[in-house]
Amino acid sequence: MLIAPVAAEKTRGTEIKIGGNVTMETAALIIRIALMLISVLLVVVVLLQKTKSSGLGASFGGDTASFTTKGKAASREAKLQKLTIILAIIVGVLALVLTIF
């Protein structure tokens, strides 16, 4: 009989308010959802990129077309590469922040 009131008091004490009406559990849920969405977006961006080599043959000079590509395709690839780096950093930061919650 003494155990139930103690457990109830502990559960009330774990709800820590961050700011306003946002609790730690709500913040963790928001971070988890953002992490999942950004991870899916990261996978899509990586799949949109063209491969830089076509296997082992390209390392011996078999495919030099990727080194001479200019114009819109190169600009698109550069943007996708920057977006990949930015999204990967965001995923890493969100994963670290999630360990706090």
Tell me, yes or no, whether 61 lies in a domain: no
The arithmetic mean of pLDDT across residues 79-85, rounded, is 93
Instruction: Give dist(CA 93, CA 38) in Å, integer.
Output: 12
In tens, the pLDDT along 52-67 reads 765 555 556 555 555 5
Per-residue pLDDT at 61: 58
Other C-beta atoms within 10 Å of 51: how many? 9
Tell me, yes or no, whether 91 lies in a domain: yes
Tell me, yes or no, whether 8 lies in a domain: no
Total of domains in the chain: 1
Write down the pTM of the prediction: 0.61
Phi, psi of 9 (to 5 degrees): -70, -35
pLDDT beyond 70 at 5 = no
Tell me, yes or no, whether 86 lies in a domain: yes
Tell me, yes or no, whether 76 lies in a domain: yes
Tell me, yes or no, whether 83 lies in a domain: yes
Tell me, yes or no, whether 24 lies in a domain: yes
Closest CA to 87 of 48, 41, 54, 23: 41
Domain range for 77: 16-47+70-101
Read off the tokens for 58: 């390209």
Phi, psi of 23 (to 5 degrees): -95, 170
Sign of CA dihedral 40, 46, 47, 48: positive
